[in-house]
């Protein structure tokens, strides 16, 4: 711990020392197209009026640039030249002390005799290792109402088992306006569904996210219109949704924003009422006590819940380049209850689960961004859940086997602080990044069993749990990014982590590399190498239990270990429309929940376990198709080889391989200017999970 503290103090001293490094004058500006959209990777050259070269820079993903005035006087007049392969060269004169300047570029036109041919505005473009999608054009004419549905329209992004996944990436993080989303699962979906689609300006897919975002591996950055500046005054929107599955589900949302210099305030509200039905038919051949027993169980159940969410965001602009921001997110889940029944070989069971009080999630984040590259921030999260399950079983002859109430409670407090600093280097277009992050989390989880009724009994080997766990994580990173040439950009970073959880202490280094090559204005190649570590959920480490029916149970695993991931990717964008991605992932100690049959009793136990490794090699293709002005289609195809090995799955060892294929076709047919028909289809081949085929 002394080493970590000393490192943090050393970094803090370096950050403070850097404040004095910006006394020299710097010319800042932004490059945009005719629509005001930022132009990345534009070459900006500063000359004297007699064409003597002074310095140059390359614009970042926001179109911003900064040029040091090391060889001239700030009061002199200079010539600024901006060049980009997709736009006409722009020249203008200005004084060195003119402040921030805005340069607008015009698209190049390819001319032939009496004909002017303009290329269709691209859906995607590469910039500094990111694939930036023009969201309004991507979803134009489609039935998209919120940011969550917008995400699922991005090529390679889909929902799998309730999580958002990206083809070729072991894990995906979500960022909103540069801020890391620490909530996950249902809470993340609720936040994204509360943001109207009209507020989303662009989405940036990063297979190797820069370390200053404090995420590793792949990430999607959602840029909203409020983050880029909105029209002054009030703006609002109300939306409602209705989904009919077996039961009807409803949603209601509202978005309100107010902008006036120097304030921006945005409020998103949503409320969902969900009613779902579930069913499972299970056939098993179970060997225990030396004899094989055929077992059948048939489950039917339904659940209800109401979820309310509020997200309040405010930004106060201190200066032209500095701002103070705050985001508060609250989620309240009420009326959550589920009922299920099961019949089968082992008898009948009944389960009733409900919340003892509303489940609450509160998250608040404060951050300060300065004009000289320093960003400071802190975040606090609290999660509180209390629920109970009344579970009873009876044998095939009607005798009560068990009848009990299990109470579960979990309270999590989590604090995060971070500091990031960026420095432009002497070589034009290059930047040095470094920073630190510290996280502290406290988890208290309890589980108690109480028999009910005169014949009530608790399950075999059941034990009460009341445990407290603490997690401490300190991270330091350093990285750089820049342009080796106007067509080739490169970035690299190294993050060191000191992790302490319960009796575990682990120190790890995470390298990341990314490179982008603009072969031609509409032909680009991007490659990345990333590494990451995935930690088990707190509840899994406590070893708690829950019961599905008379045969199936869910167990935690206190011995579960975190697993590493290594990912490589190569993407090629053709004509700014077609995207081909090759990817490979290697995950030692990969973990997933698998069922196994207890050798001493009739019980099917679902429990997470560590594999030796998991490997995936695949290719993902995006092909947009347009037929006239009426039909717009997009085909996404992903095929991959899945390879897993487990040497100690209880009394078994296995290695399995399977080739899988996923495809999705999105079609938008414009019937009239005001009426659009959307028809989508998806197909996936069978795959595997452990020993099971799914």
The residue-averaged pLDDT of 609-624 equals 94
Which residues make beta-bridge pairs with 413? Answer: 382, 442
Separation CA 348–CA 344 (nearest Å): 6
- What is the per-residue pLDDT for 617? 97
Tokens matching residue 327: 């985001």
124-693 matches 2-110 in CATH topology: no
Q: Which two tokens stand for residue 388?
A: 């109970």
More confident residue, 360 or 123: 360
End-to-end CA distance of the chain: 46
What is the CATH number that goes with domain 2-110?
Answer: 2.60.40.1120
Task: Report the greatest alpha carbon distance in the chain.
Answer: 101
pTM: 0.75
Residue 250 has pLDDT above 60, yes or no: yes
pLDDT tens digits along 545-555: 888 888 999 99
Q: Is the pLDDT of residue 541 over 60?
A: yes
Q: Which two tokens stand for residue 179?
A: 């801020």
DSSP state of 150: H
- pLDDT, position 51: 66
CB-based contact 613:587 (threshold 8 Å): yes
Give the whole-angstrom CA distance, residue 7 versus residue 77: 45
* Token pair of 317 as six digits: 């602009």
Give the SS3 label for residue 493.
Answer: strand
Would the pLDDT of 228 be above 80? Answer: no
Structure tokens at 42: 């534009």
Q: Could you give the count of Cα atoms lying within 13 Å of 506 in the half-sphere of its Cβ?
A: 15
User: Is pLDDT of 159 > 50?
Assistant: yes
Residues 6+ apart with CB under 8 A from 270: 190, 193, 194, 251, 252, 253, 254, 307, 308, 309
Q: Is the pLDDT of residue 489 over 60?
A: yes
Place of tokens 């983050």: 227
State the Cα–Cα distance between residues 264 and 266, nearest whole angstrom: 7
| SS (HEC) of 289-338 | CCEEEEEEEEEEEEEEEEEEEEEEEEEEECCCCCEEEEEEEEEEEEEEEE
> Whole-angstrom Cα distance, residue 529 to residue 526?
11
Place of tokens 């595997």: 688
What pLDDT is recorded for position 464? Answer: 87
Q: What is the DSSP letter of 100?
A: S
Structure tokens at 390: 């009344």
Query: How many alpha carbons fall within 13 Å on the CB side of residue 415?
Result: 5
Distance of CA 290 to the CA centre of its chain: 48
pLDDT for residue 596: 92
The most confident of the ranges 77-86, 124-133, 510-519 is: 510-519
Question: Nearest 5°: phi and psi at 40?
Answer: -90, 160
Half-sphere exposure of 28 toward its Cβ, with a 13 Å CA cutoff? 14
Q: Above 80 in pLDDT, residue 46?
A: yes
Q: 552 pairs with which residues across the strands?
A: 604
- pLDDT band (50, 70, 90) for residue 18: very low
What residues does 186 pair with on adjacent strands? none
- Whose tokens are 């799914």? That residue is 694
Cβ atoms 31, 44 nearer than 8 A: yes
User: In the structure, what pLDDT confidence band is assigned to residue 128 with cuts at 50, 70 and 90?
Assistant: low
Burial class for 3, CB neighbours closer than 10 Å (0-12, 13-18, 19+): exposed
d(CA 490, CA 506): 30
In DSSP terms, 367 is beta-bridged to 325, 377
Q: Quote the CA–CA distance of 381 and 361 in Å, as a whole number.
A: 7
Q: In terms of DSSP bridges, do strands 347-369 and 374-394 run parallel, antiparallel, or are they unpaired?
A: antiparallel
Residue 388: which H helix or E strand, with range?
Answer: strand 374-394
pLDDT of residue 462: 74
Among 74-88, 107-121, 242-256, which is the least confidently predicted range?
107-121
| Confidence at residue 290, expressed as pLDDT on a 0 to 100 scale | 83
The whole-number average pLDDT for the span 348-366 is: 94
What CA–CA distance (Å, rounded) separates 358 from 598? Answer: 35
CA 585 to chain centre: 18
Mean pLDDT computed over 446-474: 82
For 625-693, where are the alpha helices, taking DSSP H only?
Answer: none
Q: What is the pLDDT of residue 69?
A: 67
Identify which of 367, 431, 359 has the alpha carbon closest to the alpha carbon of residue 18.
Answer: 431
Q: What is the predicted pLDDT for the residue at 73?
A: 59
Highest-pLDDT range among 142-156, 232-246, 267-281: 267-281
CATH fold for domain 124-693:
Maltoporin; Chain A (2.40.170)
Q: Please report, rounded to a whole number, the percentage of residues in the chain having pLDDT higher than 90.
A: 37
Checking if the pLDDT of 544 tops 50, the result is: yes
Residue 685 has pLDDT above 90, yes or no: yes
In terms of DSSP bridges, do strands 130-134 and 124-127 run parallel, antiparallel, or are they unpaired?
Answer: antiparallel
Do 151 and 220 contact (CB within 8 A), yes or no?
yes
What is the residue-averaged pLDDT of the chain?
84
Quick one: pLDDT band at residue 277, thresholds 50, 70, 90?
very high
Highest mean pLDDT among 87-101, 218-232, 353-367: 353-367
Q: Is the pLDDT of residue 17 over 90?
A: no
Q: Per residue in 498-533, pLDDT tens?
A: 999 877 888 999 999 999 888 887 788 889 999 999
CA distance 29 to 103: 8
What is the DSSP annotation of 23-82? -S-EEEEEEE-TTS-B--S-EEEEEETT--EEEEEE--TTSEEEEE--SS-TTSEEEEEE
pLDDT at residue 299 in the model: 94
Q: HEC states along 219-264?
A: EEEEEEHHHHCCCCEEEEEEEEEEEECCCEEEEEEEEEEEEECCEE
Rounded Cα gap, residues 364 and 379, in angstroms: 6
Q: What is the DSSP letter of 197?
A: G
Residue 20 pLDDT > 50, yes or no?
no
- Contact call for residues 204 and 131 (beta carbons, < 8 A): yes
Tally the residues of the chain.
694
Q: What percent of the chain has pLDDT over 70?
A: 90
Tell me the C-alpha distance between 517 and 311, whole Å: 39
Q: pLDDT digit string (tens) for 382-430?
A: 999 999 999 998 887 878 888 899 999 999 999 999 999 998 887 767 8
Q: Which of 337, 350, 193 is nearest to 272 (CA)?
A: 193
And the tokens for 32? 């945009």
Reported as a pLDDT band with limits 50, 70 and 90, residue 229 is very low
Residue with tokens 């405010």: 314
Encoding tokens for residue 162? 């309730």
Q: Which long-range contacts (CB under 8 A, 24 or more apart) does 486-490 make?
A: 486/41, 486/43, 486/58, 486/83, 486/85, 486/518, 487/517, 487/518, 487/519, 488/515, 488/516, 488/517, 488/518, 489/41, 489/58, 489/128, 489/129, 489/515, 489/516, 490/514, 490/515, 490/516
- Residue 117: pLDDT above 50? no
Nearest to 562 by CA among 531, 584, 583: 531
pLDDT top residue among 2 and 537: 537
Q: Which two tokens stand for residue 1?
A: 């711990």
Higher-confidence residue of 622 and 48: namely 622
- Among 359-373, 422-436, 437-451, 610-624, the minimum mean pLDDT is found in 422-436
What are the sequence ranges of the domains in the chain?
Answer: 2-110, 124-693
- Highest mean pLDDT: which of 132-146, 153-167, 528-542? 528-542
Higher-scoring residue by pLDDT: 195, 607: 607
């Amino acid at each position: 711990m002394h080493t970590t503290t000393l490192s943090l103090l050393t970094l803090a001293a370096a950050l403070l020392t850097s404040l004095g490094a910006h006394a020299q004058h710097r010319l800042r500006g932004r490059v945009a197209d005719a629509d005001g959209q930022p132009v990345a990777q534009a070459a900006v050259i500063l000359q004297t009026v007699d064409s003597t070269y002074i310095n140059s820079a390359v614009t970042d993903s926001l179109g911003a640039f900064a040029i040091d005035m090391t060889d001239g006087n700030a009061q002199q007049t200079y010539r600024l030249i901006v060049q980009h392969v997709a736009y006409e060269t722009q020249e203008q004169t200005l004084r060195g002390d003119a402040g921030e300047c805005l340069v607008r570029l015009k698209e190049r036109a390819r001319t032939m005799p009496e004909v002017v041919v303009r290329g269709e505005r691209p859906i995607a473009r590469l910039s500094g290792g990111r694939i930036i999608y023009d969201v309004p054009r991507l979803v134009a004419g489609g039935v998209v109402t919120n940011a969550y549905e917008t995400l699922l329209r991005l090529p390679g992004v889909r929902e799998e088992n309730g999580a958002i996944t990206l083809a070729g990436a072991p894990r995906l993080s979500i960022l909103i306006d540069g801020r890391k989303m620490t909530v996950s699962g249902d809470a993340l979906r609720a936040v994204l569904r509360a943001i109207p689609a009209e507020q989303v300006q662009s989405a940036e897919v990063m297979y190797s996210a820069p370390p200053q975002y404090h995420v590793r591996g792949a990430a999607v950055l959602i840029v909203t219109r409020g983050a880029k500046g909105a029209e002054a005054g009030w703006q609002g929107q109300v939306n409602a949704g209705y989904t009919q599955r077996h039961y009807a589900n409803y949603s209601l949302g509202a978005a309100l924003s107010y902008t006036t210099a120097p304030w921006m305030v945005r409020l998103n509200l949503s409320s969902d009422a969900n009613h779902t039905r579930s069913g499972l038919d299970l056939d098993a051949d179970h060997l225990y006590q030396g004899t094989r027993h055929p077992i059948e169980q048939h489950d039917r159940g339904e659940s209800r819940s109401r979820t309310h969410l509020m997200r309040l965001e405010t930004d106060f602009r201190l200066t032209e380049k500095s701002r103070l921001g705050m985001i508060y997110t609250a989620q309240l889940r009420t009326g959550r209850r589920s009922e299920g029944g099961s019949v089968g070989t082992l008898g009948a069971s009944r389960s009733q689960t409900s919340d003892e009080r509303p489940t609450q999630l509160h998250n608040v984040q404060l951050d300060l961004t300065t004009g000289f590259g320093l960003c400071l921030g802190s975040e606090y999260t609290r999660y509180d859940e209390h629920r109970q399950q009344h579970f009873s079983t009876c044998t095939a002859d009607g005798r009560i086997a068990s009848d009990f109430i299990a109470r579960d409670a979990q309270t999590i407090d989590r604090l995060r602080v971070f500091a990031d600093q960026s420095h432009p280097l002497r070589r034009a277009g290059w930047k040095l990044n470094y920073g630190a992050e510290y996280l502290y989390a406290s988890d208290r989880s309890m589980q108690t069993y109480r028999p009910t009724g005169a014949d009530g009994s608790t399950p075999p080997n059941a034990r009460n749990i009341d445990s407290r766990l603490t997690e401490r994580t300190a991270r330091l990173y350093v990285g750089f990014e820049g342009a080796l040439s106007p067509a080739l950009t490169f970035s690299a970073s190294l993050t060191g982590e000191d992790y302490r959880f319960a009796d575990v202490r682990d120190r790890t280094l995470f390298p990341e590399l990314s490179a982008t090559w603009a072969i031609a204005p509409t032909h680009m190649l991007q490659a990345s190498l990333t590494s990451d570590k995935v930690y088990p959920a707190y509840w899994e480490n406590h070893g708690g239990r829950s019961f599905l029916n008379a045969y199936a149970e869910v167990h935690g695993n206190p011995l579960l270990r975190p697993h590493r991931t290594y990912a490589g990717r190569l993407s090629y964008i053709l004509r700014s429309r077609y995207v081909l991605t090759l990817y490979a992932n290697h995950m030692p100690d990969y973990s997933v929940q698998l069922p196994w049959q207890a050798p001493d009793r009739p019980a099917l136990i679902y429990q997470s376990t560590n594999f030796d490794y998991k490997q995936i090699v695949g290719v993902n293709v995006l092909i947009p198709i347009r037929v006239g002005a009426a039909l717009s289609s997009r085909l996404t195809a992903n095929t991959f080889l899945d390879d897993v090995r487990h040497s100690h799955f209880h009394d078994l060892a296995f290695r399995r391989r399977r080739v899988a294929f996923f495809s999705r076709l999105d079609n938008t047919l414009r019937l009239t200017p005001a009426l659009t028909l959307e028809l989508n289809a998806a197909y996936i081949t069978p795959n595997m999970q452990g020993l099971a085929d799914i």
